[in-house]
Amino acid sequence: MAESTTETTTQTVVTNPDGSQTITTTSPKAKVEDPTVPKTAEDLGFSDEFLAKHPEVDELVKLAIKEKWPQAKFNRIVETETSWGRRLTAAQEVFDLNMAGGPLKADFEQQIEDQKTRLATEASSLGVTLSDSQINDFARKIVRNKLGNIQVRLFIGKKFDMPETKSVTGDASILANSLKDIAGDYGIMITDTDLEKKVRAGLSSGDDPRTWAEQQRTYYRDQAKNLFPTVAQQLDTYTVREILDPYLSAASSLLGINVQNMNLDDERWTRPLAKAANRDTPMTADEWRTTLRTDEKYGYNKTSQALNEAVDIGNQIISIMGSV
């Protein structure tokens, strides 16, 4: 039996008793990623702000992600090879000894109760729902691990889930509405999944929600440049909505629709900027008016202006026929 291996398949050649050969080809098994291996600093429980203050931990985080360390290995190395980890381990030992009946047990228990209140209050302010179990467990971790404001904010932010009702409160509401407004101004439809991820990241950042949302403008601008190449250069200065203003005003006048009701995630209203087979520039005003009048999607034939025009034409025909 002989084997020959390529990068993608393995062939096995078997010689049968009658002298013939049987060749079987097998594909390599797909690599299955270990879900317990952290992929980002956030997965390891660290924010950028924390790592900026603790470069020795930052170096280990980068190495752990590069070499795909399991969480347990990373924790063990951080605890033994960094000054921050050694201080943390010492603090944990003091906590554990006292909670087992030491003289400071009552003090630690009160600290945990205080952190429960703090977590509930801050989560409510951020618009995040935490269960009693989550509050109890994390309050204990805050005290045992001496976690600071950054880690607390990161924990709460990561727990944000978009409710089925899509109704959010607190900073989550400010973030969601700001992001939808910015994306909408660039003609980008933001999905519920993307919105949830963005809000979660914004809450975890610790930044002012409006400031953080504004920092995402470049992301949506770049998407718009790909979507509307006819005005890519102008988008460095203006939003899609600002460029479309004269087109939308013309449509409002002709169709009797309020401009505020023209959502840019509806391709009818971004059509003047869409690249067409016969042109790579935006529509002219005449092309846009013709489109509004002739394309049934806009419903011009049902407007009062169209009906009045039809009456006028009918009267003209009657007048002409009466004079013949």
- What is the tens place of the pLDDT at every residue in 131-166? 999 999 999 999 999 888 888 998 999 999 998 887
Q: What is the pLDDT confidence band of residue 129, given thresholds at 50, 70 and 90?
A: very high
Average pLDDT for residues 273-277, to the nearest whole number? 79
Rounded to whole angstroms, how far apart are CA atoms 293 and 28? Answer: 60
Encoded tokens for 182: 């910015």
Q: What is the pLDDT confidence band of residue 310, given thresholds at 50, 70 and 90?
A: very low
Q: Is the pLDDT of residue 224 over 80?
A: yes
Q: Is the pLDDT of residue 29 over 80?
A: no
Most confident of 116-120, 163-167, 272-276, 289-293: 116-120
Average pLDDT for residues 277-284, to the nearest whole number? 81
Q: Find the helix packing angle between 149-158 and 192-205, rounded to 10°.
A: 170
Q: What is the pLDDT confidence band of residue 53, given thresholds at 50, 70 and 90?
A: confident
What is the reported pLDDT for 12? 61
Alpha-carbon separation of residue 195 from 151, 189, 226, 262, 265 (angstroms): 23, 10, 20, 21, 15
Q: Is the pLDDT of residue 56 over 80?
A: yes
Under DSSP, is residue 172 helix (H, G, I), strand (E, B) or coil?
helix
Average pLDDT for residues 299-307, to the nearest whole number? 70
Most confident of 7-11, 176-180, 190-194: 176-180
The torsion angle over the Cα atoms of residues 164, 167, 170 and 176, rounded to 10 degrees, is 90
Mean pLDDT for all residues in the chain = 83
Rounded to whole angstroms, how far apart are CA atoms 55 and 60? Answer: 9
Q: Are 158 and 123 in contact (CB under 8 A)?
A: no
* Element holding 202 (H helix, E strand): helix 192-205
Encoded tokens for 321: 């026929």
Q: Are 80 and 90 in contact (CB under 8 A)?
A: no
Q: Are 199 and 162 in contact (CB under 8 A)?
A: yes
What is the reported pLDDT for 308? 54
Rounded to whole angstroms, how far apart are CA atoms 24 and 17? Answer: 17
Rounded to whole angstroms, how far apart are CA atoms 203 and 191? Answer: 18
Average pLDDT for residues 73-87, to the nearest whole number? 86
Q: Is the pTM of this model over 0.85?
A: no
Q: What is the pLDDT confidence band of residue 277, given thresholds at 50, 70 and 90?
A: low
Residue scoring higher pLDDT (307 or 318): 307
What is the reported pLDDT for 316? 40
Q: Is the pLDDT of residue 270 over 90?
A: yes
* Element holding 248 (H helix, E strand): helix 240-255
What is the reported pLDDT for 151? 87
Average pLDDT for residues 167-175, to the nearest whole number? 94
Backbone angles phi, psi at 5, to 5 degrees: -120, 135
**What are the DSSP E strand ranges found in the chain?**
2-5, 10-15, 21-26
What is the reported pLDDT for 164? 83
Average pLDDT for residues 237-262, to the nearest whole number? 92
Average pLDDT for residues 115-124, to the nearest whole number? 96
By the 10 Å C-beta count (0-12 exposed, 13-18 middle, 19+ buried), 91 is classed as: middle
What is the reported pLDDT for 311? 38
